[in-house]
Structure 1
Amino acid sequence: MFITSENATPVFKDLTLVMPAVAVGNVGQLAVDLLISTFNLPRVGYLHTDCLIPMAGNNPYATGKDDAGELHTAAEVYTAPELKLAVLQIRAPVVKSKSRRFRQLLLSWIKASGFSRTLVLSSSHAYQRDDQQLQGTPLRYLVTPSLLKTSGDAFKELGWREMEKRAPLCPERLDTGAEEERLYVPGGGITKGLYMDSCTEDVPLAVLLVFCSEGDNVPDAMALVSHLDDWLHLLDNPNREGKWKIPTSWNLLFGSGIPPAIF
């Protein structure tokens, strides 16, 4: 699945993997863009799979004409060994009929690579929140038992809110009664399935997500990546400016401008 773009296969052991889930507003992907652009992460390889819709394009993080024509694909891996960080950017939707297979391929690669933990950046439909989710911050987290053992105190210190479980939308269809609560992440793509699979396979994984709506999701991405940095402290490096760098590809986030010639 992983194909290196270097002469030697990169070493991922003990690195933290950050990746997005293709979800409402593409917030996770925008947040990952900010990580790659801010820390100028080098690409070390890509994921080759038929589970993603094929796509290719120019370098989204180009700094000039010299690198603007580089070819980039649907799923690429970047690393910063000095930050103990690896980043997977996914730029294309998952083929609906291959969602389960994609999750299993991802988890197999994650386990084989030896990542210390995996952090998934995601989002969920704001309009489908229940009453308790309307209160306070729109940011939530999920954590597998495997990661909770080592990072549970960190979540308490940060004061983060865990994603609430909800009563079934159609309780009359349940044999166990209406009191059973379940995890819902509407609009979250593979988020819930990847989290549940990670719990089953004892993979240390956390999900950070934000409730949002489609539109200008740059503020949501900024909030989500800053939320992540409250935990990882990536911007604390004295060599950094302490702020997120907007990638060049965002200049066309809402398409090109209106041609003056039409007026």
Structure 2
Amino acid sequence: MFVPCFVQESVFSFAGFTLLMPAVSVGNAGQLAINLIISTLNMSKIGYFYTDCLVPMVGNNPYATSEENSIELSINAEEYSLPSKKLVALQLRSIFIKYKSKAFCEKLLSWVKSSNCAKVIVLASNHSYHHNDLQLRSTPFRYLLTPSMQKSVQNKIKSLNWEGMENCPCIPEISDSEFCIHAPGGGITKTLYDEGCSKEIPMVVLLKFVSERDNIPDSLGLVEYLNEWLQIIKPHLQCDDPTASALPWKMPSFWRLLFGSGLPPALFFICF
């Protein structure tokens, strides 16, 4: 259930908005990608998604830009908005309580339907070691469309030359078993997609095959993949560094702590 931060936002309309959200999946690439979008667009926090399906957590404002807003608290499922682009982003910051992920997907998509959101875009990742031979020879990005989304975006997707997620045998050991979608390491990706199909939710799932590592480059790849379609931001006119992204993504302030603060010098001493 959506709970607004302020009373005036209780009448906020999501009609026609695009909901961006991550699937908590391998490498946290989807969550890192949502961080990039919120930080780059300077989206405002409008509320949180109240649920008992996620492990409770609380922390400081991850998008702090000053001492004043650094003391704001953040919890496990918060929503951010940019009305000028009709975007709302749901950020998930903790894992699901056992057996409650399906209930979360059902509640979330029921809220999406009642809020009249235009579409849902899920950013997710899959284990790279589940590549088959065909996938190894092509782009690491894939997409999925629910039936209610296919008519409206199929032509645009085709013009981008994107590759859809391939069907695989439902039981890999049996060659003549039925085919279905697999998303190993994708967390709630498959559940969200299946629920989106059954509830007739216009949904696009964007995936990248990744490994556990420093997954910031994977998140950059995901948002640039998304930006090919939505054109959230425009590229720089000039870029002197040929290795740098042509898109001006803004790294969130808390990313400097992703791998800790380093080893304290007091741990080391010199013996003579």
Q: TM-score, normalised by structure 1?
A: 0.94
SS of 1:142 mapped into structure 2: strand
Alpha-carbon offset, residue 44 of structure 1: 0.3
Q: Which amino acid aligns with 1:103?
A: C
Q: Find the aligned partners of 1:137 and 1:190 in 2 and give their Cα distance.
A: 23
Match of 2:186 among 172, 185, 188: 188
State the Cα deviation string for residues 159-191 of structure 1 (Å, max 9, x = none). 10101111244444xxxx715222110000110
Q: Find the aligned partners of 1:40 and 1:128 in 2 and give their Cα distance.
A: 36
Instruction: Answer whether contact 2:2 2:48 (CA < 8 A) is retained.
Output: yes
Alpha-carbon offset, residue 236 of structure 1: 2.4
Match of 2:75 among 73, 76, 88: 73
State the Cα deviation string for residues 136-170 of structure 1 (Å, max 9, x = none). 11010000110111111110011101011112444
The aligned runs of 1:96-135 (5 Å cut-off) are 96-135=98-137
For structure 1, the residue ranges without an aligned partner over 5 or more in a row are: none
Q: Indicate the percent of aligned positions where both proteins have the same amino acid.
A: 47
Q: Tell me what 1:27 maps to.
A: 29
Instruction: Answer whether contact 1:168 1:178 (CA < 8 A) is retained.
Output: no
Q: Find the aligned partners of 2:218 and 2:19 in 1 and give their Cα distance.
A: 21
Q: Tell me what 1:256 maps to.
A: 261
Q: Find the aligned partners of 2:123 and 2:63 in 1 and give their Cα distance.
A: 20
Q: Tell me what 2:92 maps to.
A: 90
State the Cα deviation string for residues 186-231 of structure 1 (Å, max 9, x = none). 0001100110111111100000010000010000000001100111
State the Cα deviation string for residues 34-79 of structure 1 (Å, max 9, x = none). 0000011000000111100000000000001111110000000001
Q: Tell me what 1:61 maps to.
A: 63
Q: Tell me what 1:236 maps to.
A: 234
Alpha-carbon offset, residue 242 of structure 1: 4.3
Alpha-carbon offset, residue 237 of structure 1: 8.9
State the Cα deviation string for residues 22-45 of structure 1 (Å, max 9, x = none). 000000000000000001100000
SS of 1:79 mapped into structure 2: strand
Q: Find the aligned partners of 2:234 and 2:18 in 1 and give their Cα distance.
A: 17
SS of 1:96 mapped into structure 2: coil
Q: Find the aligned partners of 1:115 and 1:67 in 2 and give their Cα distance.
A: 29
Instruction: Answer whether contact 1:171 1:178 (CA < 8 A) is retained.
Output: no
Instruction: Answer whether contact 2:143 2:207 (CA < 8 A) is retained.
Output: yes
Q: TM-score, normalised by structure 2?
A: 0.91
Q: Which amino acid aligns with 1:192?
A: K
After superposing the two structures, state which structure 1 stretch, 241-250 or 107-116, moved more: 241-250
SS of 1:189 mapped into structure 2: coil
Aligned CA RMSD, in angstroms, stands at 1.5
Aligned residues between the structures: 257
Q: Tell me what 2:243 maps to.
A: none
SS of 2:88 mapped into structure 1: strand
Q: Find the aligned partners of 2:130 and 2:161 in 1 and give their Cα distance.
A: 24
Moved over 6 A (4+): none
